[in-house]
Structure 1
Amino acid sequence: MTATGEELVDLYDPTDSEGLVTGCASRAEVRARNLPHAATGVLLRDGRGKVFVHRRTDTKDVNPGAHDCFAGGVVAAGEDPLTAARRELREELGVGAALQPVLRRWYRDETTHYLAFVHQAWWDGTPLVLQASEVAHGWWEDAVVLRERLADPAWPFVPDTRALLQAWPGWWQDPGRP
């Protein structure tokens, strides 16, 4: 945080897929200038092959009101991406679970530019606690059905998660618990 309370975000080298930090900026500046940073995404699965899908609140700064199946967000300055993924999963869904890394790649569009650190986790059946400021509501969706829904470009789903799932071969198949 800055002296004025602004959240700081590390900037990443967009030519490096490992995560080379090159500087720091406020989250507001990162959003305003679409600066390269890092973000996490966690696909939460249950034991029956379902994926937790949610609708983002209308107050989110990026893709408000759209659907998503990742719990995740921006990696804070000085924060390790794995730590950030655990934090985001706990904050957004109230889940503490082991994470399995599945994908690391750059994503860029007109509103965001980040190195994605994508993981999957398995839900143990404890009640989910949805973060009211970020998650409007959610449900468990069969992964194959979700894949079919994602084929419809008119379905309001966040574009970055849609693109990252397309880059993750076989994500809709039940990988079994590690």
Structure 2
Amino acid sequence: MNNQVQKPDERVQIVDESNNPTGAATRSDMRAKNLIHRCSFTMIFNSQGELYVQKRVAFKETYALHYDPAPGGVVGEGESYEQNAAREIEEEMGVSGVDLERQFDFFYSDTVCRLWGRLFCCQYEGPFKLDPEEVESGQFMSMEEVGDLLRSGPVCPDSKAAVAQYLRLHAPALKP
């Protein structure tokens, strides 16, 4: 983790290894102690079946300048996965009024974060209004291009894990 924690005093939901809530902590404490937390992830498709992939800004606290095929965020204290997913895609990309379809929950762990994620999908054609504090750029990509991106990177590893599992379930020919 090279960059400063964004919103260090924000209270986030902390969970155990079985995804049971155990309390809350500040985002700063969660990062410093690598506490298990919850995150939402959303794959945004257009009517042609292309996936919107964003590129994170250089000063993100985790995975700076990585591509993110399933943007989302850390679930706040007292917030549901669904509330978080809707809030995050609206804040980061201006996407609102979409039906979020729950896909699955998954555990992800590396040296930067440990989390329980919930993947959602939705359909949205645009326009996008990217938050310059979060997103450098974004574009729709074919699923073949997404598969290539997952293999070549740099891609946020937690989003990569979510999208790879989605592809294994829904598009076996495009396994990363």
Give the 3-state SS of the residue equivalent to 1:151 in structure 2. Answer: helix
Structure 1 residue ranges without an equivalent (≥5): 174-178
Q: Distance in 2 between matches of 1:164 and 1:107?
A: 9
Q: Aligned-pair RMSD on alpha carbons?
A: 1.5
Q: Distance in 1 between matches of 2:49 and 2:13?
A: 35
Q: In the alignment, which residue of structure 2 is the partner of 1:105?
A: 106
* Pairs within 5 Å for 1:28-107: 28-96=28-96, 97-107=98-108
Q: What letter is aligned with 1:13?
A: D
Q: Distance in 2 between matches of 1:144 and 1:170?
A: 15
Q: Distance in 1 between matches of 2:20 and 2:69?
A: 27
The question of whether the paired residues in 2 share the 8 Å contact of 1:147 and 1:172 is answered with no
Q: Distance in 2 between matches of 1:141 and 1:64?
A: 20
The question of whether the paired residues in 1 share the 8 Å contact of 2:54 and 2:71 is answered with no
Q: Distance in 1 between matches of 2:140 and 2:81?
A: 26
Q: Distance in 1 between matches of 2:14 and 2:52?
A: 30
**C-alpha distance after superposition, 1:16-46 (max 9, x if no partner):** 2xx4211111100000110001000000000
The question of whether the paired residues in 2 share the 8 Å contact of 1:165 and 1:171 is answered with no
* 2:135 corresponds to 1:132: no
Q: Distance in 1 between matches of 2:154 and 2:126?
A: 29
Match for residue 14 of structure 2 among 11, 14, 29: 11
Q: CA deviation at 1:172?
A: 4.9
Q: In the alignment, which residue of structure 1 is the partner of 2:161?
A: 163
Q: CA deviation at 1:159?
A: 1.0
Give the 3-state SS of the residue equivalent to 2:85 in structure 1. Answer: helix
Q: What letter is aligned with 2:106?
A: R
Q: Distance in 1 between matches of 2:26 and 2:170?
A: 33
Give the 3-state SS of the residue equivalent to 2:91 in structure 1. Answer: helix
**C-alpha distance after superposition, 1:82-115 (max 9, x if no partner):** 1001101111111111100112011000000110
TM-score by length of 1: 0.87
Tell me how many residue pairs correspond in the alignment. Answer: 163
Change (3 A) 1:55 1:86: same
